[in-house]
Structure 1
Amino acid sequence: MKGADAENRALAALLEQGHTLLARNYRIPGGEIDLVTRLGGVFVFSEVRQRRSARYGSALESVTLRKLELMQRAALTYLFREQGRDDLPCLLQVVSIEGEAASGVLSITPIE
């Protein structure tokens, strides 16, 4: 349930910014995207990470290059399967929460 709490908090923050939810936990073989939203004409693919303490690094630091590659593949698959093309404007980002899901510091970091 802890992961769901972090995802719910991240989704609430995105909705407050004007995003529209398109999918949660979109899965393909070998990859998953926690939240798929749309903001204007841009599809936004979000990985949600939470760390209660920085003992083993920050939530953002826990996202590996391999995870980013899998996110990119899942995002392209989503666009192709659900929108009929894979050349639409999109953004990959990490929504990180440092501390408890309900009260920790939430940050949104675009992946370039």
Structure 2
Amino acid sequence: MNDRRRDGAAVERAAAAHLQAAGLRPLAANIGFRGGELDLVMLDARGASRVVVFVEVRHRRTAAFGGGAASIDAGKRRRLVLAAQQFLMRERGLRDLPCRFDVVEASGDADAPTLRWIEDAFRADD
């Protein structure tokens, strides 16, 4: 495994642990579909209703070129929405639940990143 992949895996593990500590439950990770990939899929049951959360994890060693959320352009959002739709088609029990798209920005060292969780970072119709 190359350094970039190793760092990406470490950051995604840290993001998943952070979200679980906040009360979200993991459903899937690193699922590829034609046209897109989902980093993390979580279930948020903290409120009155359960919500399927599609989480994009972005790591930047420095903020010199903007944060990770800034790198999610319209094309990337479309691919994430398409992958989320395909995931929900496959997972019948989750189809009728509300969904949202979150971003976890990670900065610094991949083995001990600083995390910033952005809930409802964008909408499927953005």
TM-score by length of 2: 0.81
Q: Where do residues 21-32 of structure 1 align in structure 2 (5 Å cutoff)?
A: 21-32=26-37
Is residue 10 of structure 1 aligned with residue 15 of structure 2?
yes
Residue among 89, 92, 108 paired with 1:80: 89
Quote the offset at 1:83 in angstroms: 2.1
Q: In 2, Cα distance between the equivalents of 1:73 and 1:88?
A: 17
Quote the offset at 1:33 in angstroms: 0.7
- Where do 5+ consecutive residues of structure 2 fail to align? 1-5
Q: In 1, Cα distance between the equivalents of 2:110 and 2:73?
A: 21
* C-alpha RMSD over aligned residues: 1.5
Q: In 1, Cα distance between the equivalents of 2:100 and 2:94?
A: 15
Q: In 2, Cα distance between the equivalents of 1:61 and 1:87?
A: 30
Residue among 18, 43, 50 paired with 2:52: 43
Quote the offset at 1:89 in angstroms: 0.5
Quote the offset at 1:77 in angstroms: 1.2
Name 1:53's counterpart in structure 2. 62
Q: In 2, Cα distance between the equivalents of 1:85 and 1:34?
A: 18
Q: In 2, Cα distance between the equivalents of 1:93 and 1:85?
A: 17
Q: How many residues align?
A: 112
Runs of 4+ in 1 over 3 A off after TM superposition: 84-87
CA contact under 8 A between 1:96 and 1:107: conserved in structure 2?
Answer: yes
Percent same amino acid at aligned positions?
A: 38
- Where do 5+ consecutive residues of structure 1 fail to align? none
